[in-house]
Structure 1
Amino acid sequence: MLGFLKRRKLPADRRPKLAEDERIVAWAGATGDNVVVVTNHGLWLPGAPERLGWHEIHKATWSGRQLQIVAAREVPVGDDAYAVMEDLPPLVVTLLDPDRVPEQVRVRVNKSIAHTSHHPLEELTGARGGVRVVGRRVPGINGLRWTVRYDEGVDASAPGVAEHTRELVDWAKSGVGTVA
């Protein structure tokens, strides 16, 4: 077999516990004898007890040696039409042999986004900033998961903000076939 056609094999003792329909698409050695594993469902990072789904990654950057991931968590607001998200502190992993991991992370995070649009809210809040409305694909779930992320300085509890945000999400849902 030709050398360039060989596929790297993840050592069995480094393999995370995968879901039934989950498969490994790339992996890379990291510092401290750790590995980063990319699957069709998400990203397994060193020391993490579970996978980070592609729809949970707000931003990923690659510096040529370090992979930085900014994940997001849901902020409870009690609206079932959308979830309000906030960024978690960045996670930085140094990849010793990145192979296809940075490329696969970029491709899969981007593919999870079906819709994104930013809308100013200055008229409602009096403050600078707006809200980003995002429709994301989630493996194993039919349809899109709708989330919003308010810009820094926007008071989501200000009068009219929640109502206007719901209207923006409804607008995005109605046009998701034409907006990408």
Structure 2
Amino acid sequence: MGLFSRKPKLPPAARPPLAADERVLAWAAAGNGEGDGVVVASNLGLWLPGRGHRLGWHEILKAVWSGRELTVTPAEMVTDRGGYRMVADCPAETYLLLDPGDLPHQVRARVTRSVAWTAHHPLPGGGGRIAARRVAGVDGLTWTVRLDPGTPADDEVLAETDRLVADARATTAPADV
């Protein structure tokens, strides 16, 4: 591809079932390009080969670009605590992208942009990360807690995460004018 040439449009057969207000931002063939699928970044999230649904940007805990491979670690909801969700790492998924184009940049920018606030806190028996994430197309923030490996999700830890999330919500809420 030359300096000013554009990547071809996403082939119709590879196009995921986009929502009415969803648009493709970047895409790349995964694997050797012979039927392994495509990775598609949209304004609402990331479509990965072998999945029948989109991962919202707020559902991606980590995305790493090695220069050839994109590794995505999705979040899995463990429980809904009323004002926030406890999440855990799903297995990381790695895709070889031989002609990545703008896809790695879009993934990094969108995942980063979805994080409105984050802080790590010590907890009884370990620690955890509290995050407020923006959800594309939704007003407000979605709050999550991801416990560090080995941290027990017992009553003492849950009571402390309830308190920490309430405090974080109070400090990040817009002031009444």
- TM above 0.5, yes or no, is yes
Name which of 93, 96, 99 aligns with 1:97: 99
What amino acid does structure 2 have at the position aligned with 1:142? D
1:162 aligns with 2:158: yes
Runs of 4 or more above 3 Å deviation:
none
Task: Give the superposition deviation at 1:152.
Answer: 1.0
CA distance in 2 between counterparts of 1:152 and 1:44 reads: 27
Q: Which residue of 1 aligns with 2:49?
A: 46
Letter in 2 for 1:173: R
> Which is worse superposed, 55-64 or 3-12?
3-12
Shift of 1:3: 6.9
- Return the TM-score normalized by structure 1: 0.89
- Which residue pairs with 1:12 in the alignment? 12
Match 2:112 to one of 110, 113, 120:
110
Q: CA deviation at 1:100?
A: 0.5
Using a 3 Å threshold, how does the CA distance of structure 1 residues 7 and 94 change in structure 2: closer, same or farther?
A: closer
- Which runs of 5 or more structure 1 residues have no equivalent in the other structure? none
Tell me the distance in 2 between the aligned counterparts of 1:98 and 1:6: 12
TM-score, L = length of structure 2: 0.90
1:1-180 alignment, distance < 5 Å: 4=4, 6=6, 8-31=8-31, 32-33=34-35, 34-76=37-79, 78-121=80-123, 125=124, 127=125, 129-157=126-154, 159-176=155-172
Q: Separation in 2 of the partners of 1:119 and 1:5? A: 48
Is the 2:58–2:133 Cα contact (8 Å) retained in structure 1? yes
Query: Residue 115 of structure 1 aligns to a residue in which SS?
Result: strand
Residue identity in the other structure for 1:152: P
How many residues of Structure 1 are paired with residues of Structure 2 in the alignment? 170
Where does structure 2 lack aligned partners over 5 or more consecutive residues? Answer: none
Query: What SS class does the counterpart of residue 97 from structure 1 fall into?
Result: coil
